[in-house]
């Protein structure tokens, strides 16, 4: 990764999604999802269970491609049909289960699947450059102000917050521009939640675009710049944090605010 | 300083030794330490009971006795690291040996061709079993149980018409099975080997230290431990007849495996698949490809073990497969600290696990103990090993890390 992607004043936002639609058989998961993510900003994606947050994330990450709609990355329309295409475009997702290998060390996890190797011949053996990986990993962890024990420590012996930090650092190491985080604080204690939120904020300050999925309204107002609320597969609110109150956001999530297009209010529990 | 940190990790002021000791006490992965400790205890007990145990002559016998179990255990460790099991290794190795004997004794093919045929057959069986396991997803337990039975049937079909065993008479195989490396050469080779290992280790420590990070106390200790074991072994073996060629071949397979599993991208991916296959898949690792490759490697080692066994005994015999070579290999792998849950362990467990198994049976023989006692002692050691593995796993789970 580059230490800090300069937040240059380009007109096009980092990511813009327009009119995303997705159906699973007869079930319409996404009807009309629109939102924008800017460089150097945290965009909180909110919504009740079943509102379409996960489907939206999977669409952008290439796990479950969309049926209709446009995804624009830096103003260019892109097609993301596979996770590797998302990775190639600089989009990384930190899933809730983190997908770490507990038996491997921190450094091995950070570089899993794209180890630095040197090959004496074209066919191999692909010899791991452990020391180089470790030094580079230390540098990245330092810029993110993540403090971890020795980098050969198995991930199994880390705390929940440290594991989350490893997963986030790993996303950043992949030369990414956009980091999607699914409920990063769901299973953490107070101090660890604060640390992870600090990390989320730091990522934005360093010029990454961040999409944060969470249920915790307090977290949202602590770190987000933008708020997008989904309800029943459609965007019902997109606002700057400063323009809305927590009550309004909750209203948008639960549907007690008037929602254009659905007609009903408070239908969902 | 950030708050994402364990309180007990603020141990900057402690001496490196204290920190290492604390690490071991809290560790959930003890590596080779328990098995080396067990080996020292076993050797001390047998030496006390019978002063002939730790003699150069008996240790040379021991060195030849670990070869087949060790090579099979090495194959098994590859499979267990994936979180799978291979029950076919015993009969597959005997099948490889019998194909070798058939080719050289009855078809009068050159020895080299016979070796290639035997090992190629075992590798091919590994490939087929790997295909069924990785592509179709049949549990390895069942696939290799069936594979082993087929191999048993084929072995009996080959050997029964010749009375169940075929004596081998070619000079090369006899040499491999009985001769030893010249003492001077064994010193030269072991010094070169250790020099290379030390250069790599020290290079890593220096590179870390140069960038302001702490060099490894543990790595230095390991270097000293390896030096003591390697040169001690060469010294003892040279005091009798030298390093057996059989042992050399096993050690070459062992060191090559150590390189592959610890220092290459393939090895890293192998551990990743064994630890968390889903995470490995999401990281872009071909889980099926790794599984297939591991079964092929294990098949190759099984074929090698079959040839080494035939060379040691001077005969390709079906009765070998009836013995406990497969269960001994699994026991050696587990005693050597390989976790049956996958992803944890080291190929060096094959060496130390086989040493424990062979030491117990060798020591019991010296004492003139009945094989009934031997089985009970081996069973107890195996139970102790699997208990340690399970306790370590429970420790990980209790802290929410498994």
Which backbone phi and psi does A21 adopt, to 5 degrees? -130, 140
- Burial bucket for residue B45 (CB in 10 Å: 0-12, 13-18, 19+): middle
Chain A (196-255) residues lying within 8 Å, Cβ to Cβ, of chain B: 196, 198
Average pLDDT over residues B109-138: 95
In angstroms, what separates the C-alpha of A237 from chain B's closest C-alpha?
32
**CA angle centred on A177, ends A171 and A179, rounded to 5°:** 45
Phi, psi of A268 (to 5 degrees): -90, 140
The answer to whether residues B230 and B183 touch, using CB atoms and an 8 Å cutoff, is no
Element (H, E) at A211: strand A209-213
Chain B interface includes A92 (CB < 8 A)? no
Distance from CA of A102 to the nearest CA of B (A): 6
Least Cα separation, residue B104 to chain A (angstroms):
34
Q: Which two tokens stand for residue A147?
A: 């403090």
Q: Do B282 and A83 touch (CB under 8 A)?
A: yes
CA distance A127 to chain B (A): 4
Angstrom distances, CA of residue B59 to CA of B139, B194, B225, B309: 40, 21, 19, 19
Q: How confident is the model at residue B192 (pLDDT cuts 50, 70, 90)?
A: very high
* % chain B with pLDDT above 90: 56
Q: Over the stretch B194-250, which tens digit does the pLDDT of each residue have? A: 998 888 888 878 877 776 666 577 788 888 988 999 999 999 999 988 899 999 999
Mean pLDDT confidence for B92-110: 93
The residue behind tokens 């230290």 is B209
- Cα distance from A195 to chain B (closest Cα, Å)? 6
**Chain B CB within 8 Å of residue A63 CB:** no
What number of other Cβ atoms are within 10 A of residue A193's Cβ? 21
Say what the pLDDT of residue B307 is.
95
| CA B400 and chain centroid, separation | 30
Q: What percent of chain B has pLDDT over 70?
A: 90
Contact A108 B272 (CB under 8 A): yes
Whole-number Å distance between alpha carbons of B352 and B329: 12
* CA atoms within a 13 Å half-sphere pointing along the CA-CB vector of B268: 25
Tokens 């994606």, residue?
Answer: A45
Is residue B16 predicted with pLDDT exceeding 90? Answer: no
CA distance A156 to chain B (A): 5
**Torsion angle defined by CA atoms of residues A118, A121, A126 and A128, in that order, rounded to the nearest 10 degrees:** -30
pLDDT digits (tens, 9 = 90+) for B154-177: 999 999 998 888 998 889 999 988
A window 10-39, beta carbon within 8 A of B:
none
Question: Each residue of B276-301: pLDDT tens digit?
Answer: 998 898 888 899 999 999 999 999 99
Q: Which residues pair with A33 in a beta bridge?
A: A20
Residue B378 contacts residue B38 (beta carbons within 8 Å): no
Q: Which chain A residues are within 8 Å of B278, Cβ to Cβ? A: 99
pLDDT of the residue at A11: 64
Instruction: Please report the pLDDT score of residue B294 as a whole number.
Output: 97
**With 60 as the cut, is the pLDDT of residue B1 above it?**
no
Q: Who contacts A218 (Cβ-Cβ below 8 Å, separation ≥6)?
A: none
Distance, in angstroms, between A49 CA and closest chain B CA? Answer: 25
| A187: closest chain B residue by CA | B400
Pick from B67, B57, B68: nearest CA to B366: B57
DSSP string for residues in B169-193: --HHHHHHHH-EE-HHHHHHHHHHH
Classify residue B103 as left (phi > 0), alpha (psi -120 to 50) or beta.
Answer: alpha
For residue B353, count CB atoms less than 10 angstroms from its CB and return exposed for 0-12, middle for 13-18, buried for 19 or more: buried
Give the bridge partners for A23, in sequence order.
A28
Q: Does A118 touch chain B (CB under 8 A)?
A: no
Residue B10: CB atoms within 10 Å: 10
Instruction: Quick: pLDDT tens for B326-371.
Output: 889 999 999 898 988 899 999 999 999 999 999 998 999 898 888 8
**Statement: residue B149 has pLDDT above 80:** yes
Cα distances (angstroms) measured from residue A168 to each of A105, A110, A197, B202, B401: 15, 9, 11, 32, 18
> How many other CB atoms are there within 10 angstroms of residue B247's CB atom?
25
CB contact under 8 A, A117 and B266: no
Residues of A in Cβ contact (< 8 Å) with B26: 157
Instruction: Pull the structure tokens for residue A105.
Output: 């060390």
CA A16 to chain centre: 14
3-state secondary structure of A62: coil
Q: Residue B290: list chain A partners with CB under 8 A.
A: none
* pLDDT higher than threshold 80 for residue B109: yes
pTM for the model? 0.85
Say yes or no for a CB contact (<8 Å) between B264 and A127: yes
Size of interface A-B (CB pairs under 8 A): 126
- Write out chain B residues lying below 8 Å of A156, CB-based: 28-29, 396, 401-402
A38, A64, A213, B14 from A204: Cα distances, Å: 9, 26, 15, 38
> If interface means Cβ-Cβ distance under 8 Å, which residues of chain B face chain A?
1-6, 9, 26-29, 204, 207-208, 211, 213, 259-260, 263-269, 271-272, 274-276, 278-280, 282-285, 343-344, 396, 399-402
Per-residue pLDDT, B115: 95
Q: Is A162 on the interface with B (CB under 8 A)?
A: yes
Structural contact between residues A266 and A254, judged by C-beta atoms closer than 8 angstroms = yes
Question: What's the half-sphere exposure (Cβ side, CA atoms, 13 Å) at A211?
Answer: 29
How does the average pLDDT of chain B come out, rounded?
87
Residue B347 has what pLDDT?
Answer: 94
A195 and B3 in contact by Cβ < 8 A? Answer: yes
Please check the confidence at residue B114 and state whether its pLDDT lies above 90.
yes
User: 3-class SS at A97?
Assistant: coil
Ramachandran angles phi, psi of B373, nearest 5°: -65, -40
- CA nearest A149 in B: which residue? B9
Cβ contacts of B263 on chain A, cutoff 8 Å: 127-128, 130
pLDDT values of chain A reduced to their tens digit, one per residue, 269 residues: 444 454 445 568 899 999 999 988 888 889 999 999 999 999 999 988 888 888 899 889 888 888 989 999 998 999 888 888 888 899 988 888 778 998 899 999 999 988 888 888 877 789 988 888 988 888 888 888 888 888 888 888 888 888 888 998 888 887 789 999 988 888 788 888 888 899 899 889 888 999 999 888 888 898 999 999 999 889 999 989 888 888 888 888 888 865 554 444 443 43
Long-range contacts (CB closer than 8 Å, 24 or more residues apart) made by B256-261: B257/B74, B257/B78, B257/B301, B257/B347, B257/B350, B258/B346, B258/B347, B258/B348, B259/A125, B260/A125, B260/B297, B261/B78, B261/B81, B261/B346, B261/B347
CA proximity to A51, closest of A238, A232, A217, A212: A232
Residues contacting A49, CB < 8 A, separation 6+:
none
Calpha distance B31→B312 (Å, rounded): 31
Indicate the residue of A83, A147, A156 with minimum beta-carbon distance to B396. A156
Phi, psi of A230 (to 5 degrees): -105, 145
């Amino acid at each position: 990764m580059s230490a800090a992607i300069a937040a240059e004043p380009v007109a096009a936002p980092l990511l813009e999604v327009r009119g995303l639609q997705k159906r699973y058989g007869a079930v319409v998961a996404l009807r009309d999802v629109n939102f924008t993510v800017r460089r150097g900003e945290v965009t909180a994606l909110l919504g009740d269970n079943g509102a379409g947050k996960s489907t939206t994330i999977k669409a952008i990450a290439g796990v479950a491609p969309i049926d209709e709609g446009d995804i624009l990355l830096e103003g260019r329309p892109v097609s993301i049909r596979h996770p590797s295409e998302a990775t190639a475009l600089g989009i990384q997702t930190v899933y809730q289960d983190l997908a770490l290998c507990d038996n491997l060390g921190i450094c091995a996890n950070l570089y899993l699947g794209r180890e630095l190797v040197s090959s004496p011949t074209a066919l191999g053996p692909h010899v791991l450059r452990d020391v180089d990986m470790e030094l580079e990993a230390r540098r990245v962890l330092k810029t993110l102000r993540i403090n971890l024990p020795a980098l050969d420590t198995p991930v199994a012996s880390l705390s929940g917050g440290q594991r989350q930090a490893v997963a986030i650092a790993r996303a950043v190491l992949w030369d990414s521009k956009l980091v999607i985080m699914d409920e990063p604080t769901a299973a953490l204690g107070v101090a660890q939640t604060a640390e992870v939120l600090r990390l989320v904020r730091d990522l934005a300050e360093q010029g990454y675009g961040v999409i944060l999925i969470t249920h915790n309204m307090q977290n949202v107002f602590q770190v987000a710049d933008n708020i997008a609320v989904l309800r029943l597969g459609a965007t019902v609110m997109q606002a700057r944090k400063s323009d809305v109150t927590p009550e309004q956001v909750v209203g948008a999530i639960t549907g007690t605010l008037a929602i254009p297009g659905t007609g009903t209010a408070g239908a969902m529990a | 300083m950030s708050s994402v940190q364990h309180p007990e990790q603020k141990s900057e002021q402690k001496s490196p030794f204290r920190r290492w000791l604390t690490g071991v006490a809290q560790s959930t992965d003890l590596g080779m330490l328990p098995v080396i400790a067990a080996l020292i205890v076993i050797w001390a007990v047998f030496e006390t009971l019978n002063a002939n145990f730790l003699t150069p002559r008996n240790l040379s016998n021991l060195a030849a006795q670990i070869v087949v179990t060790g090579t099979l255990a090495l194959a098994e460790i590859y499979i267990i690291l994936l979180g799978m099991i291979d029950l076919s290794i015993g009969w597959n190795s005997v099948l490889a040996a019998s194909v070798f004997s058939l080719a050289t004794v009855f078809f009068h093919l050159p020895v080299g061709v016979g070796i290639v045929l035997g090992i190629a057959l075992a590798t091919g069986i590994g490939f087929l079993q790997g295909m069924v396991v990785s592509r179709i997803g049949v549990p390895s337990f069942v696939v290799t149980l069936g594979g082993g039975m087929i191999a048993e049937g084929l072995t009996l079909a080959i050997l029964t018409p010749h009375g169940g065993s075929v004596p081998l008479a070619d000079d090369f195989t006899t040499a491999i099975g009985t001769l030893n490396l010249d003492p001077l050469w064994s010193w030269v080779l072991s010094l070169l080997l250790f020099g290379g290992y030390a250069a790599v280790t020290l290079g890593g420590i220096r590179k870390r230290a140069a960038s302001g990070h702490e060099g490894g106390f543990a790595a230095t200790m390991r270097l000293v431990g390896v030096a003591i074991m390697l040169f001690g072994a060469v010294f003892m073996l040279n005091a009798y007849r030298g390093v057996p060629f059989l042992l050399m071949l096993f050690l070459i397979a062992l060191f090559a495996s150590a390189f592959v599993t610890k220092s290459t991208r393939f090895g890293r991916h192998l551990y990743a698949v064994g630890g968390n296959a889903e995470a490995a898949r999401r990281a872009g690792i071909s889980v099926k490809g790794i599984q297939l490759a591991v079964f092929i490697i294990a098949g190759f080692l099984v074929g090698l073990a079959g040839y080494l066994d035939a060379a040691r005994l001077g005969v390709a015999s079906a009765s070998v497969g009836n013995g406990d070579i497969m269960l001994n290999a699994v026991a050696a792998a587990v005693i050597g600290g390989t976790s049956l849950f996958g992803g944890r362990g080291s190929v060096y467990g094959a060496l130390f696990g086989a040493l424990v198994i062979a030491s117990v049976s060798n020591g019991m023989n010296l004492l003139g103990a009945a094989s009934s006692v031997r089985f009970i002692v081996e069973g107890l050691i195996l139970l102790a090993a699997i208990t340690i593995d399970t306790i370590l796993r429970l420790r990980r789970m209790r802290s929410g890390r498994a």
